[in-house]
Chain A
Amino acid sequence: MASKLSAYVDTSALIALLDKSDSFHPLFSRLFSDPPPLVTSSLVVAEGQGWFLRRFDTNRSLQFLTFLEELPNLTIFAVGETEIREGQRVLQKFSDQTLTLTDAVGISMLKKHKIRRCWSTDRHLSLGGVPLITSLVD
């Protein structure tokens, strides 16, 4: 169960941390060095693995999964029928946006688990009302 102190982690936060070239790399390096309880979804894991596979290779994508295994206090919520239905409702609500199901499930999880911290660089994740960490921290 996510606590009020938990932070939701989106794919973009993971990429910003692991890709040295990203402009948000210093911020997420600092945040992940002493992380609070972290929450994410299995869709984020799949998206991240896919990013490394497409941008780099199988080896890097496997290293990404090893990184997640070693990350302390990370809860990965499974996405089943219920979560997809909840995500679908978010997609319908914001049908004027190019939201992915991964984004929509993330927005829905933030609300459902009353998580007030969102680690992401993707503006879509703030549509549910939780501000992105990138807008709160210098």
Chain B
Amino acid sequence: MIRTQISLTKEEYRLARLEAKRQGISLAEFVRRTLRPNLPLDTSRPWMRFVGFVESGDANSSQKIDELIYGIKT
């Protein structure tokens, strides 16, 4: 483990501690878990970290874009 220092606003610190407590983990572990999804998994292909970064729950979401953006029934 590398020890490092980060600066948080009072509010960020308060909320982070609260959430860590809620999850039953240390503040350090909470920060690590929050950081992990934003780190490129493969440094040679950084764009791939965004693959599947959202889950709409809709198997046809890519075919309903016009409906969502323009209100056009497809």
Contact = CB atoms under 8 A, between A and B. Distances in A.
Contact of A11 (B50, B65, B72): B65
A100 B69 CA distance: 10
B53 to A, nearest CB: 6
Contact of A32 (B51, B59, B72, B74): B51
B55 A21 contact: yes
Contacts of B53: 18, 20, 60, 63
A12 B60 CA distance: 10
B39 to A, nearest CB: 13
Given A22-B60, A98-B72, A17 B65 contact: no
A20 B65 contact: no
A55 interface: yes
Given A23-B60, A56-B54, A100 B66 contact: yes
B45 A33 contact: yes
A63 B52 CA distance: 12
Given A18-B50, A19-B52, A63-B50, A54 B69 contact: yes
With a 10 A CB-CB cut-off, give which of B48, B55, B62, B66 has the most chain A CB atoms. B62
B61 A72 contact: no
Interface in A55-90: 55-56, 60, 63-64, 66-67, 70-72
Given A32-B48, A67-B50, A98-B74, A47 B55 contact: no
B47 A13 contact: no
A124 to B, nearest CB: 8
Those 9 A-B pairs whose CB atoms lie nearest each other, nearest first: A20-B52, A16-B62, A67-B50, A70-B47, A12-B62, A15-B62, A23-B59, A121-B62, A20-B55
25 contacts: A12-B63, A12-B65, A15-B62, A16-B62, A21-B57, A22-B58, A22-B60, A23-B59, A24-B62, A25-B52, A29-B52, A33-B48, A51-B65, A51-B69, A54-B69, A56-B54, A63-B53, A64-B50, A70-B50, A72-B47, A98-B72, A98-B73, A98-B74, A100-B72, A122-B66
